Amino acid sequence: MSNRNGTIWISGSILIFLITVFGCSSNTGKPDTSSVKFTQYVVRGEELYQKHCSNCHQKNGSGLGLVYPPLNTSDYMDKNFEKVLCLMKYGLKEEITVNGKNFVQPMPGVVTLTDLEVAEIATYIYNSWDHNRGIVDVTEASRVIKNCATADQ
Amino acid sequence: MIKKIVVPVVCLFISVCFLSCEKQPLPIFGQRQVVTREENGKQVNDTVYHTIAPFTFTDQDGKTITNETFKGKVYVADFFFTSCRTICPIMKTQMLRVYQEIQNDPEVLLLSHSIDPEYDTVELLHDFAARLDVKSEKWHFATGQPKEYVFDLAQKSYFATAMEDKTEPDGFIHSGAFLLIDRLGRIRGKYDGTKEDDVDRLMKDIKQLERE
């Protein structure tokens, strides 16, 4: 019995070791994405994404048909960084074109999001799937959000 | 000593496996009544089950759909609205999985009722269905009745929650349930349309129901 316990302990330790090693190595390789701050932003951003965004845009960012646009590969996100930050908070009513396809479903904003939360979500979506923009800092998010054209969205 | 324990345990395990292969018939939901009638001078007892009440809607092609549309078919029903941002998108993601599974099966249909028929017009639902890339004759989106009519059908026939509530973020409360209806209009299963594993169970039950 004690022998079996020993085996469990050893395999458990190896597993934790592997998770630690590979967990760390996946964040290296890109500039300014290895910092603790970046990791915090991504972790918080993912939580917020799953709370506010993934119902429609899906956990894997694939979107749903031509109803909800994809985020995993999105020329709209590449070209409209500031607008994407604004629409998280204030929503979007206009028709948009993503990867050559048009989407008309209005997106409700989450007006209660703080600048930091917008920064965290942005950091998560802009560093997941096909994107590797690096951190979207809270000061950058605040600057963008201050200039959002909320009236016509 | 070990054999004494291992052999019965293995036997028990195997028999449990066999028992689980022998599928139980799906339950029939709702109240039932026993009706006695006379046949050739003898008293015969019939069980009358709860069925979906007669309904009439307009689908995304502007066509009238009624119980007759679904008669003799197995179908899955749910309640949603296109502008909902809470559970409906997940439900539609999951219903699309069911659609992909049954799209070439002539015995199975899908029926999604809009609980916001004023906003979800025929044109809007037509666009919505087109954007999901689904065929109208397989997946009907129902509108064209006052919302009270839909709420009533949801609650009394499908035992599903659907009502207006101005305090909710989108103005409605409704369950994310998928209801499995058999060829006789009886409810045979209720599933959480927001949970992938529950929808897996639904897809298995559809197959089982088809074999009945």
Structure confidence by residue, pLDDT tens digits, A23-62: 444 444 455 677 999 999 999 999 999 999 999 999 999 9
A116 with A42, same domain: the answer is yes
* Test mutation, A49, A52, A55, chain B, max B CBs within 10 A: A55
Q: Is the pLDDT of residue A15 over 90?
A: no
Number of independent structural domains in chain A? 2
Alpha-helical (H) ranges within A53-103 are 54-57, 75-79, 81-90
Q: Which amino acid appears at position B65 of this protein?
A: I
Q: Where in the sequence is the domain holding A62, given as residue range(s)?
A: 31-146
The per-residue pLDDT for A29 is 45
- State chain A's mean pLDDT as an integer: 86
A10 with A54, same domain: the answer is no
The per-residue pLDDT for A145 is 96
CATH superfamily placement of domain B51-210: Glutaredoxin (3.40.30.10)
Q: Is the pLDDT of residue A2 over 60?
A: no
Return the closest-CA partner of residue A129 out of A67, A66, A53: A53
Residue A1 domain-assigned (yes or no): yes
State how far the Cα of A143 lies from the Cα of A124, in Å rounded to an integer.
Answer: 19
CA distance B91 to chain A (A): 9
In this structure, chain A runs to a length of 153
A23 with A39, same domain: the answer is no
A24 with A46, same domain: the answer is no
Helix axes B88-102, B122-132, angle to 10 degrees: 60
State how far the Cα of A76 lies from the Cα of A68, in Å rounded to an integer.
Answer: 13
**Higher per-residue confidence, B172 vs B186:** B186
8 Å CB contact of B85 and A108: yes
CA distance A147 to chain B (A): 26
pLDDT > 70 fraction of chain B, expressed in percent and rounded: 91
A7 with A46, same domain: the answer is no
Residue A151 domain-assigned (yes or no): no
Residue B162: pLDDT band (50, 70, 90) is confident
A21 with A37, same domain: the answer is no
Q: Is the pLDDT of residue A114 over 50?
A: yes
Residue A17: pLDDT band (50, 70, 90) is low
A113 with A64, same domain: the answer is yes
8 Å CB contact of B96 and A65: yes
Q: What is the CATH number of the domain that holds A91?
A: 1.10.760.10
A142 with A112, same domain: the answer is yes
pLDDT > 90 fraction of chain A, expressed in percent and rounded: 74
Residue A124 domain-assigned (yes or no): yes
Residue A70 domain-assigned (yes or no): yes
Q: Which residue of B has its CA nearest to A64?
A: B93
B127 burial type by CB count under 10 A (0-12 exposed, 13-18 middle, 19+ buried): middle
Residue A152 domain-assigned (yes or no): no
Q: Is the pLDDT of residue A111 over 90?
A: yes
Alpha-helical (H) ranges within chain B are 2-21, 67-70, 88-102, 122-132, 147-152, 196-210
Q: Which residue of A has its CA nearest to B131?
A: A66
Q: Is the pLDDT of residue B129 over 60?
A: yes
State how far the Cα of A7 lies from the Cα of A2, in Å rounded to an integer.
Answer: 9
A82 with A102, same domain: the answer is yes
Strand partners, B46: B35
The per-residue pLDDT for B173 is 79
A9 with A77, same domain: the answer is no
Return the closest-CA partner of residue A128 out of A67, A53, A64, A68: A53
Complete DSSP assignment for B21-76: HSPPPPP--S--EEEEEEETTEEEEEEEPP-PPP-EEE-TTS-EEEHHHHTTSEEE
8 Å CB contact of A55 and B86: yes
Residue A16 contacts B, CB cutoff 8 Å? no
State how far the Cα of A77 lies from the Cα of A63, in Å rounded to an integer.
Answer: 13
The per-residue pLDDT for B204 is 97
- State chain B's mean pLDDT as an integer: 91
Out of B83, B87, B89, whose CB is closest to A68?
B89
Q: Which residue of B has its CA nearest to A67?
A: B131
CA distance B76 to chain A (A): 20
Residue A76 domain-assigned (yes or no): yes
The per-residue pLDDT for A1 is 46
B11 burial type by CB count under 10 A (0-12 exposed, 13-18 middle, 19+ buried): exposed
- At A121, list the tokens: 């979500």
Residue A75: pLDDT band (50, 70, 90) is very high
A61 with A90, same domain: the answer is yes
A13 with A39, same domain: the answer is no
- At B52, list the tokens: 């979906």
The per-residue pLDDT for A153 is 45
Q: Is the pLDDT of residue B184 over 80?
A: yes
State how far the Cα of B124 lies from the Cα of A111, in Å rounded to an integer.
Answer: 27
The per-residue pLDDT for B6 is 74
- At B6, list the tokens: 């291992």
Residue A65 contacts B, CB cutoff 8 Å? yes
Q: Is the pLDDT of residue A3 over 80?
A: no
Spatial CB neighbours of B150, under 8 Å, sequence gap ≥ 6 = B79, B113, B114, B115, B117, B142, B162
Out of A56, A64, A104, whose CB is closest to B85?
A56
Give B93's contacts in chain A (Cβ within 8 Å). Answer: 58, 64
Interface of B with A (CB under 8 A): 82-83, 85-87, 89-90, 92-93, 96, 127-128, 130-133
Cα angle, residue A26 at apex, residues A22 and A27 outer, rounded to 5°: 130
- At A122, list the tokens: 């942005």
State the average pLDDT over residues B25-40: 91
CB A55 within 8 A of CB B87: yes
The per-residue pLDDT for A4 is 63
Weakest-pLDDT range from A87-101, B19-33, B75-89, B190-204: B19-33
CA distance B37 to chain A (A): 52
The per-residue pLDDT for B70 is 97
Q: Which residue of B has its CA nearest to A106?
A: B83
